[in-house]
Structure 1
Amino acid sequence: MSEDWAAVARAINERVSELGWRQKELAERSNVSLAIVREIQHHVVERRRSSRTLESLSVTLGWHPQHLISVLHGRKPPSPDEPAAGGPETVWSRLDTLEQRMVEITERLDDLKSDLATVIEHVRKDR
């Protein structure tokens, strides 16, 4: 399966021009680093990008989440109102995963806070 990163760059550049945005604005709105946006827009570094990066850029630009992935693979992009492909990597399943991960992180932080309080208490007693 060939990848056409030049087509992705053209699509993004045309859309950004239509919207009157700068690279920095696209990067901030999509939560994609400015360096990556720059590399993709200028087609200076051709390397595999996360489908999540392309999905985030697509959604930010007002397209279907699979728009840029379709462009990359030479397929006709889906219309914005078309439902996203329902696989394990849908936005909702990723949000659920992130939510669970946040719960785990919060629990670990609570444990660390408790451990730290115990250490501080022992240090104070030793003084």
Structure 2
Amino acid sequence: MSQDWTALGRAITDRLEEQGMTMTDLANKSGVSLTTVRELVHVLNTRKRNPRTLAALSEALSWPSDHLTKVLRGQTNAAEAPKSEITALREEVRELRNRVTALEQAGR
């Protein structure tokens, strides 16, 4: 089975940015060593990982526990990840702005 370590690193990096977390925050929240987090983010060591490591990282990033395992196996990607509450709210505000603009233009 092929493993996409680059996709895994990108998924973690994108989610950290989205949630305003650092690698240190992730290490502390997940209980995974900072060295391991860095190795995964920067694709420095592609050795087999304990499934609990990826599950802990997934959960610390507010994903289902199997999400990073699926990303690694190519069964999903970060774009298919559940949206964070902030991302969902931003999209909703954007949609509401568009509706208000359309109503304002219709009333002119």
Normalising by the residue count of structure 1, what TM-score does the alignment of the two structures yield?
0.60
SS in 2 for 1:57: helix
* Structure 1 residue 13 corresponds to structure 2 residue 41: no
Q: What residue number does 2:31 align with?
A: 31
1:41-60 matches, within 5 Å, as 41-60=41-60
1:40-119 matches, within 5 Å, as 40-76=40-76
Q: Aligned partners of 1:55 and 1:23: how far apart in 2?
A: 16
Q: Look at both structures and tell me which one has the larger radius of gyration over its CA atoms.
A: 1
* Identity score, percent: 45
| TM-superposition CA deviations, 1:70-105 (whole Å, max 9, x none) | 00000026876xxxxxxxxxxxxxxxxxxxxxxxxx
Query: Aligned AA for 2:49?
Result: R
Structure 1 residue 44, shift from structure 2 partner: 1.0
SS in 2 for 1:76: coil
Q: Aligned partners of 2:54 and 2:81: how far apart in 1?
A: 16
| TM-superposition CA deviations, 1:15-42 (whole Å, max 9, x none) | 0000111111100000000000010011
Query: Aligned AA for 1:13?
Result: T
Structure 1 residue 48, shift from structure 2 partner: 0.6
Structure 1 residue 45, shift from structure 2 partner: 1.2
Gaps of 5+ in 1: 81-127
SS in 1 for 2:44: coil
Normalising by the residue count of structure 2, what TM-score does the alignment of the two structures yield?
0.70
| TM-superposition CA deviations, 1:4-23 (whole Å, max 9, x none) | 11100000000000011111
Q: Aligned partners of 1:10 and 1:33: how far apart in 2?
A: 18
Q: What residue number does 1:84 align with?
A: none
